[in-house]
Structure 1
């Protein structure tokens, strides 16, 4: 059945996920306006934060009817026993899923420096983890070449197949659709078949986006900032990511073998505004209040 662009866009909104800090989840008592029960909420694990804080946020999200997806950062894991404890804690809570990332710590806490090393232990799969999300970098990574990033994804895909894991990609947030669409085509050409959930910024301000973009190494943030310099009256006005959403919806509607599967929102503090916009788009398909 052929779906219209509006239908694809609305479906993407309904199936999208969102990422929040444990502290924000606890502040909100796990209540997220305009987010349906059963939605996926990714819980960040920042360097220096105890994993028990991530677990507390996951517990609250489950209590409120959401599906928590905790970050598990390789560089914050001390050893294989620590990894087993983390996986066991998730399975005890009926959370058979994680976002496995290298993490932002400059110095590893233990024996792991990257996610491939964690997957090669087979500990997550043996513990009962069934879904593993991994990071995607449409604009590249400062510490790896494009070819290296492709090889890492191919190795992760191979390990996922061997261990019976459902693996999907979650990307960094992006501003411009063109490099993202080119990146997806390159992944397909390289033999990567993992579904892609594209990172999308929330309805926050250009000033906030540029700050986070620079911190995250998103190259387009600099060009975005240059384009916005003359629009000073909009520097504190919420951005709207509908153009990016439309580009992904168009790829899904027009390309049968596209890897694009869903969206992943980074609200950057604008949680309520982002979720309201998301709900309106899922209902009307136009991005305008219904």
Structure 2
């Protein structure tokens, strides 16, 4: 099989377009993010990230705009950015006022926690003991590992957190074998939550390469380079196509139809590009 002759899986293709249409689209709340949110369809699910640079207030601001525009909202909440239990309660109350029922909890990238929470598990413990509106809570998983946390600690944390969560969201990955082999290991270790596969949206390959190395997914990026001529694509300024990855993951799903509940698209605030690409996928499968 070559990059010019992608594998096709008839049963998988029936699942591909619904998963793409129902994917969560991640938006970073920087300048211009409101326009990115409004570029999604009215029934879209939008995840708004949370980072040390912009603070919890910026996340809430964009969640409010998205919710009031009719979108379904999944706020990110980084534990290391929450000062204390009172701050957590206030964040939860403000989301409840917006009608938000889905929350994605991560440890966060802040080098130094602003308060008592060092990791997501600690925040989830406090969250579970207070009244909240969330019918679904997602947690992160790292099929390629974490640049600052060893694998044993990752597995221990995942098992601890899963009782307070309803689904997993994987880090961005480019290698189907890495994703599916990790999922098999997770099931063997007792992790039973369904997963939303983290995929990169269509993006010019040079920019995607830069961002991928920055967030620590170099291993599967090297796989992409070997299998799909990444160097040539960089030189020619081509755009990454995530569809073959999704097809391959679905084809190798350990428990077909039960492990993978959806997709989480890292749009890099290029929502119109993703929407245009999605229309081409709809035409290709018509």
Q: What range is the shorter-chain TM-score in? A: 0.7 to 0.9
| 1:48 to partner: Cα distance | 3.0
| Greater Cα offset, 150-159 or 108-117 | 150-159
User: 1:171·1:199 contact (CA, 8 Å) conserved in 2?
Assistant: yes
CA distance in 1, matches of 2:36, 2:26: 16
Unaligned residue ranges in structure 2 (runs of 5+): 1-9
User: 1:84·1:123 contact (CA, 8 Å) conserved in 2?
Assistant: no
Residue equivalent to 1:270: 270
Residue equivalent to 1:244: 245
* C-alpha RMSD over aligned residues: 2.3
Residue equivalent to 1:9: 16
| 1:136 to partner: Cα distance | 1.1
CA distance in 2, matches of 1:276, 1:225: 25
Q: Helix, strand or coil for the counterpart of 1:99?
A: strand
> What stretches of structure 1 move > 6 A for 4+ residues in a row?
none
**Number of residue-to-residue matches in the alignment:** 274
| 1:285 to partner: Cα distance | 5.8
The answer to whether 1:104 aligns with 2:109 is yes
| 1:36 to partner: Cα distance | 3.2
Unaligned residue ranges in structure 1 (runs of 5+): 161-166
| 1:131 to partner: Cα distance | 1.4
CA distance in 1, matches of 2:36, 2:220: 35
Q: Helix, strand or coil for the counterpart of 1:274?
A: helix
Residue equivalent to 2:162: 157
- C-alpha change, 1:69 and 1:124, in structure 2 (3 Å) is farther
Provide Cα deviations, 1:215-271, integer angstroms capped at 9, x if missing partner: 11113234545752344533x21111111111123245x834741111111122432
Structural mapping, 1:99-138, within 5 Å: 99-123=104-128, 126-138=131-143
Q: Helix, strand or coil for the counterpart of 1:264?
A: strand
- C-alpha change, 1:16 and 1:124, in structure 2 (3 Å) is farther
Residue equivalent to 1:228: 230
CA distance in 1, matches of 2:246, 2:265: 11
User: 2:36·2:269 contact (CA, 8 Å) conserved in 1?
Assistant: no
User: 2:55·2:81 contact (CA, 8 Å) conserved in 1?
Assistant: no
The two structures have a TM-score, normalised by structure 1, of: 0.86
CA distance in 2, matches of 1:207, 1:244: 19
Q: Helix, strand or coil for the counterpart of 2:103?
A: strand
The two structures have a TM-score, normalised by structure 2, of: 0.87
Residue equivalent to 2:61: 56
